Amino acid sequence: MPSPDASPAAAPPHVRIAPSILSADFARLGEEVRAIDEAGCDWIHIDVMDGHFVPNLTIGPAVVKALRPHTSLPFDVHLMISPVDGFLDAFAEAGADIITVHPEAGPHIHRSIQHIKSLGKQAGVSLNPATPAKLLDYLIDDIDLVLVMSVNPGFGGQSFIDSQLRKIEAVRKMIDRTGRDIRLEVDGGVDATTARQAIAAGADVLVAGTATFKGGRDCYAANIAALRGL
C-alpha cells in the first residue's frame, strides 16, 4: 500500500479521497470501482454493516474479494459489525489493506488491533459521534488510522455533525504529539463545504459517498476534485 504523505500541521498538501461504495450502483459495483479509480480517487472505502451494531445490512468478505481484481487502489474497509474479531481474518484474506474497527464492537479493542497487525494489514480505530477522543490514549501508538464519524454510522446521505470538528482537532493534536504517520479520516456528510472544515480541523483523508457518486459517472472526476478543493 502506498505510504501516505500527510503533513502534521494545517491542511495537508494532498488530501486523500476515499469514496464510499455504499453510494455506488450495486448492480454494477465492479464498474463503479473502476470508474472512481479512473476519476482520481486514492482509496476505496468499503462500509461493512451487520444490521446489529448498526441498523443497516450491507456486504461481506465475498464482495470485497470479488471487487479486488477491479483496482489496485488500497481497500479501506470499515467494519461496523459486532462481535468483530471473528471476521478480521476473512476480510484480510478478501483483500482489505486497512481494517478499521470500533472500540464498542468487541471486548478488547487492543487485542483486535494486534490481530489486524498480525495479519499484515494496517489498523484503524473508528470513533462514533459520542465516543471521546480520549479513548485513543492507550491505542494511538499501535494504530495507523483514526476514523472520526461525523454522522451516526449506519446510513449514507446524513448531515455532518458540527461538534465532530472539535474532535478532529483533538485527534490531530494527539497524532502530532506521537510524531507517527497516522492518517486522520473523516466519514459522514462530507461535501465540498464540510470537506474544507474537516481539512482545516486536521483531517487528511475524506470519505464521501453521496458527494462522489452524485450526477453519474461523467461527474465523478469533478466531484473528487471539488472535495480536494481544486
Catalytic residues: 47, 187
Own/partner contacts of 74-77, CB < 8 Å, gap of 24 or more, are: 74/1, 74/2, 74/42, 74/43, 74/44, 74/98, 75/43, 75/44, 75/46, 76/18, 76/43, 76/44, 76/45, 76/46, 76/100, 76/185, 76/205, 76/207, 77/46, 77/48
From 25, 11, 5, 4, select the one nearest 217 (Cα to Cα): 25
CA atoms of 62 and 87, how far apart (whole Å): 12
**SS3 category, 169:** helix
Torsion of the alpha carbons at 171, 72, 83 and 156, rounded to the nearest 10: 70
Q: Residue 167: which residues within 8 A CB-CB, separation 6 or more?
A: 127, 132, 133, 148
Going by the annotation, the residues of the binding site for a divalent metal cation are: 45, 47, 78, 187
The grid coordinates of residue 88 equal 478480521
